[in-house]
Structure 1
Amino acid sequence: MALSNTEEQLMEHLWKLEKAFMKDLLESYPEPKPATTTIATLLKRMTDKGFVGYNEFGNSREYYPLVKKNDYFSKQVKGLIKNFFNNSASQFASFFTKETNLSEKELEELKKIIDAELQKKKK
């Protein structure tokens, strides 16, 4: 299950803060800040989806992520490759390198990452 764009934005704030009360989450947004009711609705949906948990302190809830950022995005990228690139990582890599207009320096960095992974696999 995936998060909507607005849920993902809220999740970004929660991943950064690690634990947060509603007021902390609201403060983390730039102006114009979303309405408290909007954040409450998003948190309810994200709790129902199993992405967010909370501890209650009296009338206040301290929210925390139940999913690690890397795990979430790894799953999203795998789904993207499966759904749009016939489950072919090389098709995805080809599209990514061409369409994102990477600089020579960025391509060199990417090559280093790939070479390092190749070395690990050969061991």
Structure 2
Amino acid sequence: MDIKQLNKTELQVMKYLWRIRKGFMKDIVDQFPQPGPAYTTISTLIGRMVEKKYIGFNKVGRDKEYFPLLKKNDYFNAQMKDMVSNFFNNSASQFASFFTKNADMSMEEMEELQRILQQKINKKKEL
């Protein structure tokens, strides 16, 4: 599946569905801050997201219960790869350098990052 960047409203819908796992149109519309988009606008948007295979649905009587087909982790990974490719010349080390220089991280967060990297290094060495 080619995962494109979601627009702001699509991302709101997906975040809600990722959190609750499934919901009816009314549930989704109710998640938007008021005054939110019109019911018909969300309905059209969800229809397009179904066509793109980001969302699926089951018929429950006359209603449709929607659920995410696009996994949150898959979307996040695709966006990160795209960002590293577009802004850091496909270099994870350039990204890591930028991130560590510009992120306001606590000592605990830096130690956690170091631990994660060390685990990854150890796994690579085992191969």
Relative to the length of structure 1, the TM-score reads 0.89
Q: Partners in 1 of 2:42 and 2:54 — Cα distance?
A: 14
- 1:33-44 maps to which residues of 2 (within 5 A)? 34=36, 35-44=38-47
The residue number in structure 2 matching 1:85 is 88
User: Is the 1:19–1:64 Cα contact (8 Å) retained in structure 2?
Assistant: yes
The residue number in structure 2 matching 1:63 is 66
Further displaced range: 94-103 or 108-117? 94-103
Secondary structure class of the residue paired with 1:50: coil
Q: Partners in 2 of 1:26 and 1:17 — Cα distance?
A: 14
CA drift at 1:43:
0.8
1:120 correspondence with 2:123: yes
The residue number in structure 2 matching 1:45 is 48
Gaps of 5+ in 1: none
The residue number in structure 1 matching 2:34 is 32
Q: Partners in 1 of 2:114 and 2:45 — Cα distance?
A: 39
Gaps of 5+ in 2: none
CA drift at 1:96:
1.3
Aligned-residue CA RMSD (Å)? 1.6
Further displaced range: 83-92 or 45-54? 45-54
1:3 correspondence with 2:6: yes
CA drift at 1:33:
5.7
Structure 1 runs of 4+ aligned residues shifted over 6 Å read none
Task: Tell me the percent identity.
Answer: 50
Deviations 1:23-69 (CA, angstroms, capped at 9, x unpaired): 22234x26426232232122122112220111122321111111111
Q: Tell me the amino acid that sits aligned with residue 6 of structure 1.
A: T
